[in-house]
Structure 1
């Protein structure tokens, strides 16, 4: 972004622009996205859009950054020591479903079609590190007496949950109550089974 918004009205305008960009991206893909269409859909002038985003790549980087921030917020909530374990698991599952339900069709385009500049690659690298640390913190809070490789345990949980949620988004299943129950069961059982180091398979 060219500058950070300081007033509530400016932040609302940026949110509207990012929502419009994600919606159009999901419907038309990267090639079908134009800044003029985004501004029109957001109810903003093209001048207002360019005041914050110099081009459509910067605009999409902001959409992706907002998604990253939302994911990290969910992970931090799921590591809240003051909440009961059941509430932490619910925060993780419900939060991930909610985050990926927001413009669900745009996620595939972000992953598969949108180009990435150097700034975007650096942002993605930072997110990977922060996400890994957040899952490790979540794992330690929910399995305090774990004996073994905490980093690996957190990695497996992260991969399983992300894979299931992303596939559900592709299949249009994120609103399914059954999906929610399955994900909650997966997380609960995995964390419950990890209170001691797994037996080595010979």
Structure 2
């Protein structure tokens, strides 16, 4: 479990407005993710991030007041990337087969970006109040995105869209995270298996109701 702290984490000092500033932010976040994955949270420093990103420590502090704010920004970028993939998977303007392929390819791509850092973010790095709030918002947005994706792509009906979408989310995320841990994200066999899994789940016929004796469990997200 990731370390939790009670103080509010430092928020990003200012949002980049120009293309050059956005490029600087991306370089800093890439460097932060690289160092986090390579060295872990205990050896993570803002000086090391600035050096790896090729910027001065003063430039880094213009945007991030401390390393906790920097880690929060890495998390938020990952959240935004995941949500963008899910939205593409529900896009009605492209054929269903391409939507499913885009979903799988996007999830693999997102988690191929600094996979070691993702583990550290989940298991080692601390979370302040700002980070917890961002995570809560992401969980809600992710749940809704999976529900929209399920509705857009499922060929069978279900009154329990939320639960069905949760099963799909758990299966896909679990498989991708395990593949990341095993170093298998670049495998074409993995991609084929994931496309097959998602397509089979969304294509199978579903009951539109449950019997009175069957209780649907509460969903925890």
Q: TM-score range by the shorter chain?
A: over 0.9
Q: Residue 17 in 1 paired to residue 28 in 2?
A: yes
Q: Deviations over 1:15-73 (max 9, x none)?
A: 00000000000000001110000000000000000000000000000000000000000
Range moving further from structure 2, 102-111 or 192-201: 192-201
Q: Secondary structure at the match of 1:174?
A: coil
- Cα distance between partner residues in 2 of 1:197 and 1:181: 29
Q: Given that residues 72 and 134 in structure 1 are in contact (C-alpha distance below 8 angstroms), is that contact kept between their aligned partners in structure 2?
A: yes
Q: Is the 8 A contact 1:30 1:109 kept in 2?
A: yes
TM-score (norm 2): 0.88
Aligned to 2:185: 174
Residue 115 of structure 1 corresponds to 126
Q: Give 3-state SS (helix, strand or coil) of 1:31's partner.
A: helix
Query: Partners of 2:81 and 2:204 in 1: how far apart?
Result: 28
Partner of 1:151: 162
1:87 partnered with 2:95 = no
Once the two structures are TM-superposed, the CA of residue 144 in structure 1 deviates from its matched residue by 5.8
Q: 2:60 aligns with which of 49, 52, 64?
A: 49
Aligned residue among 43, 46, 63 for 1:35? 46
TM-score using structure 1 length? 0.96
Looking at structure 2, the residues matched to 61 and 148 of structure 1 have their Cα atoms a distance apart, in angstroms, of: 37
**RMSD across aligned C-alpha pairs, in angstroms?**
1.6
Higher helix share: 1
Residues paired across the two proteins, number: 202
| Larger RCO (alpha carbons 8 Å, 6+ apart) | 2
What stretches of structure 2 of length at least 5 have no aligned partner?
Answer: 1-11, 215-221
Kindly state the Cα deviation for residue 141 of structure 1 after the two structures are TM-superposed: 0.5
Distance across 1 between alignment mates of 2:160 and 2:67: 42
Indicate which of 89, 106, 115 corresponds to 2:117: 106
Q: CA–CA distance in 2 between the matches of 1:158 and 1:89? A: 13
Superposed structure 1 runs of 4+ greater than 3 Å apart: 194-202
SS of aligned partner of 2:13 = coil
Rounded Cα–Cα distance in structure 1 between residues aligned with 2:56 and 2:120: 25
